[in-house]
Amino acid sequence: MIILNSKKFSNISYESGKEIYYHANEAGTPFSIDVTSDLTCNIDAMNLVASFLDDIDNLKEQALRLVDSAITNKENQHHSLVIYFFDEQKNPSVFPNGEETIHKMFGTVCLKDVSYNVMLKCLKIVRFGSYIDKDINEQAFIMDLCFDRDYTDELLVVYFDVNKNIFHITHES
């Protein structure tokens, strides 16, 4: 077994040529991790994975800034997607216990207090991964953001290139 060279998450081990998949908390991370098998046999690729994991808090903040910008700027290419994602998640009819679920997810008693700003602060990383992106033909990184996996499977998915720049964002379920 090889130990990933991460300073922040030192419990991640893997076998060269085999996919990495850990559930949240299984390797000391609060989110699940997956790395495709074609990357695990490349030490440079795995060092990039370690670097991204060590910088995960900054990457999340970068993603949240992009989402915030998309919310506030109607000209932003991601505005419609982000607004749809947020509005869907504060609609009580999509949850079994309606408003009660929304209150648990966003920590508020009054539904009208669930603003985009409140929601933005509640997004959590639920998965982080790395793979070879066929469109850009290089290693890429994926960060799934969610409000609470206990209540929703809706994800805001953020894609990063090897330079830690966001190159795509999407909504998945």
pLDDT of residue 113: 74
Residue type, 18: K
The Cα 171–Cα 151 span in angstroms is: 16
pLDDT of residue 133: 95
CA trace torsion 55, 60, 63, 69 (10° rounding) = -120
The Cα 156–Cα 125 span in angstroms is: 10
Strand-pairing partners, residue 138, are 133
User: What sign for the dihedral angle of Cα 82, 86, 91, 93?
Assistant: positive
Under DSSP, the state recorded for 111 is: G
Token output for 38:
């074609």
Parallel, antiparallel or unpaired: strands 138-146 and 13-14 = unpaired
Q: What is the pTM of this model?
A: 0.93
CA trace torsion 8, 12, 14, 18 (10° rounding) = -90
**pLDDT tens, residue order, the chain (173 aa):** 999 999 999 999 999 999 999 999 999 999 999 999 999 999 999 999 999 999 999 999 999 999 999 999 999 999 999 999 998 888 777 777 777 887 888 887 666 778 898 889 999 999 999 999 999 889 999 999 998 888 888 999 999 999 999 999 999 98
Strand-pairing partners, residue 32, are 127
pLDDT of residue 106: 82
